[in-house]
Amino acid sequence: MPNFNYKIIIIIYMVIMSIIGFASMGIDKKRAINKKWRTSEKTLFIIAFLGGAAGSVLGMRIFKHKTKHMKFVIFMPLFLVLQIAALLFICIVY
Range(s) of the domain holding residue 55: 6-93
The pLDDT of residue 5: 84
Degrees (nearest 5) of the Cα angle 55, 60, 64? 145
Tell whether 88 is covered by a domain.
yes
pTM for the whole thing? Answer: 0.91
Mean pLDDT, rounded, of the chain: 94
Q: How far apart are CA 28 and CA 47, in angstroms?
A: 13
pLDDT of 17 above 70 = yes
End-to-end alpha carbon distance in the chain: 19
Report yes or no on 1 lying in a domain: no
Q: Could you tell me if residue 35 is inside a domain?
A: yes
- Tens of pLDDT along 45-69? 999 999 999 999 999 999 999 999 9
* Contact by Cβ (8 Å): 66, 60: yes
Q: For position 2, what pLDDT does the model report?
A: 61
**Each residue's pLDDT tens digit, 24-43:** 999 999 999 999 999 999 99
Q: How many domains does one find in the chain?
A: 1
Structure confidence at residue 16 (pLDDT): 98
| Measured distance CA(91)–CA(93) in Å, rounded | 6
Q: Is residue 26 part of a domain?
A: yes
